[in-house]
Structure 1
C-alpha cells in the first residue's frame, strides 16, 4: 500500500466551526482532540484537491471517539467517498452507513482514479452522539499501485480497427465506439502495464492476448477487468454501438422486368424499352426504420414516385442508412433506355 495522499493536501469544506478548520483533518495529528474538523451544518463535505490524478485503493475516516477522553459514541455514522475529475461533477464510489468504529478503514476492490476526492456527510450521517454535527480527526487517502492498460484495441469482424471515443488513455475508464451491421462480433486486444496482471473481457479470460465478444444490434457493454497480483482490479468499459441493418431485401420497378436481386450485390443493369417514359422504384429495407433515399442525377424521389427516363443510361441510386449506429449501403440500378 502506498502513501497517504491526503496528508497536508489542499482541503476545503462546506463549512466549519471556528477554530476547527478543514486543514486540521489532514495534518496527521491524532493525539490532540483540537486537531479536527467540526461541521454543524449537515449535509456537509470535505473536499481534497490532489492537483493531478491519482489511484486510490484505500481510505480511512478517523473520529474523535475514544481519543483524549472522548466517549466511543463520538464516531461518524454515515458518509460517502466521492470522486471528480473537474471538482464539480461527483461520483459516489463507496458508502458507509451505520458505522460504530472510531477508525473506519475501507479497501476498494476497484481502485479509483481522480484528482478530486470528497467525503460527503448526509443530513443524518453525523456523530453517533450528535447526528446534527460532523467531526473528522483525520482523513486518509492511500495511493495504490495498480496495473492499468497501456493500449486497448477494438477490431470489427473484418479485423478493421474501431476508433475509440475519447482516444485511449490509461487513466480514462469509459469509451464508446461504433461498428457496422455486419460485425456480429468484435475482437478486444488489451495490453497491461504488467504482464503478471490477469485480464478478463466480459468475464472470459484472454486467449493469446485477445478475446472475441458477440454483438447484438444497438448498444453492447464490454467490460475489461485488469487485476493485479495483489488483487486490485481496474475496470475499463467500452460501449460498442453496432449499426442496425442497412440492407434492402427487395426492389421493384414499374414497366421494367427485374429479378435476381441479392442484398449484398450493389450494381445492376436493367433494360427499358424505348417507349417507356417513366418508372417508379419501390425498395423494401430489411429494417423498416432504415432511411431510404432514391436519386437520379441528383434529384430525390420518393418510393413509388414516377421517375422520368432519358434515352441512354439512367443510373438510379438507392441509399439505405441504418437507423441505429453508422452504416449504409448504396445500390446502383443502371436503367438503359434504348
Structure 2
C-alpha cells in the first residue's frame, strides 16, 4: 500500500518551532521529527497532490519514540476534502490508548486530508504531538452504478440519479431510432445496452422505435468483480405519425389549387374558391382519426360543405391519435378571385 502523505506538503493551524507539521509526514520516528501544538483543538492538513481513493490510515504516537505510554493522543479524527474549504469526516477515534493506531474505513476519494485533535495527550490534554501520520491508497470500490445516462433525443423522466433505475421518455414521430449514452461510475465496469457491450461515455447502437408504441431499453452495468450488477430501464414512447397523406379542397367537381403544393409535413396552405360559396375537403390519413372543423370525417371521404365568408375562411383539419395527440392543418380559403 502506498502512503499518500509521505513527504507531501503539510500545513497546520498551530505548531511550536521547530516541530513543524511536515515532520509528521516525513516517515521518521526520531524524537525530534514530530509535530507539536500547544493548543487544542488543532489540526494538520496534507495535500496528496491529486485525487486518490483511500481506505486506511495509521497514527504513530510519541511512545513509539520512547516516551511513556500516556503520551498518546486521546481523541482525533481524519477528514477529507477536494478544495480545502469543504471537509467531510472519514474516521474518528476516542479514548485512544494505543501507541500505534491503524484503522480501515470504507474507501473514499479525496485530494486533501486533515488530522484533527479534539483532545490532546493523555498526560496533558491541552497539548498535541504526533510522531507520524500515514494515509494509504486503496483500489476504487467495485460499483455497478451509472454516473450518468443520456438520450440522443427526448429527456429522461425523472432526471437521472444513479439510485433511480426506471425512466421514461417521449419522442416525436420523426424520431425512428434512439441511442443512449451511459457513463459508469467505476471505469472498470462493463456496460451492455440491450445485450450489446458499449464503452462507458460512448453512444450505444441505434435502437429502433415503432410509431405509436413504447420500446424498452435495458442498460446493464456489471461491476469489475463480475458479480455486482445493476439494470437501468428506459421506456421510450414514440408518438404516432399523425400526418395527412393527402388533402384535397373541392368546389363542385373541381379541385382547388393549394399553395404550397401539399406536403404532409407542411401544416398551412392557402387557396382561392373563385367566388364560389362553399367548398368541401377530402382528407386522407392512415395515422389516426380525422376531424374537419371539429366534425369527424372518414379518411378519403368528402366532408360536409363549408360555407365561405367574404373574408378569409380558415378550415382546420386535425389528425388525432388514440392517446389524444393532435396534428393540425389549416387551409386559408379566399372566396373571391
8 A Cα contact 1:127 1:133, kept in partner: yes
CA distance in 2, matches of 1:99, 1:183: 59
2:64–2:100: 8 Å Cα contact kept in structure 1?
no
Aligned partners of 2:324 and 2:40: how far apart in 1?
62
- Distance, in Å, in 2 between the alignment partners of 1:77 and 1:330 is 70
| Corresponding residue for residue 97 of structure 2 | 100
SS of residue in 1 equivalent to 2:69: coil
Compare relative contact order (CA 8 Å, sep 6+) and give the higher one, 1 or 2.
1
Q: d(CA) in 2 for partners of 1:113 and 1:37?
A: 26
| Secondary structure at the counterpart of residue 55 of structure 2 | strand
Please state how far the C-alpha of 1:89 moved relative to its aligned partner: 1.8
Cα separation, partners in 2 of 1:271 and 1:131, compared to 1, 3 Å: same
Deviations 1:173-197 (A, max 9, x none): xxxxxxxxx89996331452xxxx2
Q: In 2, Cα distance between the equivalents of 1:73 and 1:140?
A: 21
Change (3 A) 1:189 1:105: same
Q: Please identify the structure whose Cα radius of gyration is greater.
A: 2
How big is each residue's C-alpha offset from its partner over 1:50-107, in whole Å with a ceiling of 9 and x where there is no partner?
2122232220111113642x22122112222111222322121212222221211111
Q: Does 1:269 align with 2:293?
A: no
1:51 aligns to what?
49
1:38 aligns with 2:36: yes
Question: Could you tell me which residue of structure 1 aligns to residue 8 of structure 2?
Answer: 9
Over 3 Å counting, the alpha-carbon distance change for 1:44 and 1:330 in structure 2 is farther
Matches within 5 A, 1:66-145: 67-68=65-66, 70-108=67-105, 110-122=106-118, 125-145=119-139
Q: CA deviation at 1:136?
A: 0.9
Question: Compared with structure 1, are the counterparts of its residues 334 and 80 closer, same or farther at alpha carbon in structure 2 (3 Å cutoff)?
Answer: same
Alignment match, 1:312: 315
Give 1:10 shift: 1.2
3-state SS in 2 of match to 1:77: strand
**Rounded Cα–Cα distance in structure 2 between residues aligned with 1:95 and 1:187:** 39
CA distance in 1, matches of 2:143, 2:231: 18
Name the Cα RMSD after superposition.
4.4
Distance 1:330 1:137 in 2: 74
Distance in 2 (alpha carbons) for counterparts of 1:49 and 1:183: 49
- Note the residue ranges of structure 1 that are not aligned, 5 or more in a row: 172-181, 201-205, 216-241, 248-265, 278-308, 318-328
Rate the CA distance shift 1:26–1:314 in 2: closer, same or farther, 3 A: same
Q: Partners in 2 of 1:84 and 1:72 — Cα distance?
A: 32
For 1:310 and 1:139, how far apart are their aligned partners in 2?
A: 86
Scaled by the length of structure 1, the TM-score of the pair is 0.52
Give the Å deviation of 1:13.
1.0
Measure the CA separation in 1 of the matches of 2:92 and 2:215. 40
Matches within 5 A, 1:138-217: 138-146=132-140, 161=180, 170=187, 187-190=219-222, 192=224, 197=225, 199-200=227-228, 206=229, 211-212=230-231
Q: Count residues with an aligned counterpart.
A: 219
For structure 2, the 5+ residue unaligned runs are 151-166, 170-177, 189-213, 240-286, 296-305
Q: C-alpha distance in 2, partners of 1:15/1:183? A: 63
